[in-house]
Amino acid sequence: MRDVAIIGIGVTKFGELWDKSFRQLIAEAGAKAIFDSGISGKEIDALFIGSMSAGRFVGQEHVGALVADCAGFSHMHIPATRVESACASGGVALRQGYLAVASGMNDIVVVGGVEKMTDVVESEAINILAMGLDQEWEAFFGVTFPGIYAMIATKHMHDYGTTREQLAQVAVKNHANGALNPNAQFRKAISLESVTKAPMVAYPLGMLDCSPLSDGAAAVVLCAAEKAKKYTQKPVKITGSGQASDMLPLHGRKDICTFEATVHAAKKAYNQAKVEPKDIDVAEVHDCFTIAEILAIEDLGFVKKGEGGKAIDKKITTLGGQIPVNTSGGLKAKGHPIGATGVAQIAEIVMQLRGDAAERQVKDAKIGLAHNVGASGASCAVHIMEAM
């Protein structure tokens, strides 16, 4: 296996993008990434695209070929593969691209992620998202993702003393970061009181504890590391890549407050990168709900199990903290266009390691981590990156 570097990134704005289509979004992100990398289209060996449910959101399947076409590469007959792993579709697509280059099969690969979720009414979007749950044991009985994560949050509060205010502080922190991100869906700071008094969705989670429905796309260009400096003076090497899965229904797990897929994917990535959690300078984690970020920082080893809420109180994960988390604003404020999320996380870490994150820049960031979860934790991809 050979080393793999990221040489280009591109991210669209996230939000309710009524004036842009599915194909326009992914073409925009891809063009930005290719321009940033300095490659030409004829050098691309393969495309991998993360998208959870384009068939239901916009009525479009055969996404791989569509992306190759709208990017202007159809005449070059580049192999294009669509990857689906619920909310982890982008992170798993990145891993497929990484493996293609690391194996020596390809030299340059473009990985994209895209979702356009606001073209359907909210009730239909909820039904589409519930397809990521176990249909027979969960969705059939009417459970939704807010309901699933509310059960997890309630158990975490019971077992570890996590408070409603600690959950709310996650949203406050991530909105403060999102206010600094020009591509974020919500560029506005919020108060603790506004979170705790927001309309309840599923106790203890209110409206401001939940990530939004979003449109958007992101793309990165991967290259064999030994060739990276031919294209850019700021390549970022992927030093660790881990993927794992777990039982799909929540009731089958031994501890619903631990996502074993995260634990095992992270272990693989840490071992490959030869680093430990304490070595990570900045992280993007999957905060689809505020409790999800608390679980993530525990399962990734940044804090001990049960101490995620206390870590929020101690401001360990703020921009100036010990391990800044979700500097982009996270899914909560940046937005969560399902297929694009995992790729956008990678792009944010690349920006941090390049020193290009402007007002949200983490000082002296050298090692970063991206953590992308599918649905209620049944799949996970973790990537560790270092500035070359």
Interval 158-170: pLDDT, tens: 999 999 999 999 9
What SS3 class is residue 358? helix
Positions marked active-site: 87, 336
Predicted pLDDT of residue 281: 98
Question: 349 phi and psi, to 5 degrees?
Answer: -65, -40
311 and 222 in one domain? Answer: no
Terminal CA-CA length for the chain: 18
Average the pLDDT over 74-81 and give the result.
96
Confidence class of residue 379 from pLDDT cuts 50, 70 and 90? Answer: very high
Predicted pLDDT of residue 229: 92
189 and 49 in one domain? Answer: no
257 and 149 in one domain? Answer: yes
92 and 111 in one domain? Answer: yes
275 and 225 in one domain? Answer: no
Tokens (6 digits) for 128: 């589409």
* Closest-CA residue to 286 (of 368, 344, 350): 344
298 and 286 in one domain? Answer: yes
pLDDT digits (tens, 9 = 90+) for 208-229: 999 999 999 999 999 999 999 9
Classify residue 43: in a domain, yes or no: yes
Confidence class of residue 144 from pLDDT cuts 50, 70 and 90? Answer: very high
Predicted pLDDT of residue 37: 97
Question: 118 phi and psi, to 5 degrees?
Answer: -100, 10
Classify residue 130: in a domain, yes or no: no
Classify residue 353: in a domain, yes or no: yes
Classify residue 304: in a domain, yes or no: yes
Q: Using an 8 Å Cβ cutoff, are 135 and 74 in contact?
A: no
What's at 227, amino acid-wise?
A: K
273 and 299 in one domain? Answer: yes
Average the pLDDT over 122-138 and give the result.
95
- pLDDT averaged over every residue in the chain: 97
Count of domains forming the chain: 2
Q: What percent of the chain has pLDDT over 90?
A: 100
97 and 21 in one domain? Answer: yes
Classify residue 365: in a domain, yes or no: yes
Classify residue 345: in a domain, yes or no: yes
| Residue 68 CA: distances (Å) to CA of 31, 231, 333, 337 | 12, 22, 30, 20
* Closest-CA residue to 311 (of 190, 189, 204, 173): 173
Question: 372 phi and psi, to 5 degrees?
Answer: -125, 120
219 and 188 in one domain? Answer: no
Classify residue 14: in a domain, yes or no: yes
Q: Using an 8 Å Cβ cutoff, are 330 and 360 in contact?
A: no
354 and 308 in one domain? Answer: yes
What SS3 class is residue 17? coil
> What's the domain range around 60?
4-121+214-235
> Residue 263 sits in a domain of what CATH number?
3.40.47.10
pLDDT digits (tens, 9 = 90+) for 246-288: 999 999 999 999 999 999 999 999 999 999 999 999 999 999 9
Q: Is the dihedral of CA 191, 295, 154, 142 positive or negative?
A: positive
66 and 143 in one domain? Answer: no
Classify residue 129: in a domain, yes or no: no
* Closest-CA residue to 345 (of 330, 359, 365): 330
275 and 202 in one domain? Answer: yes
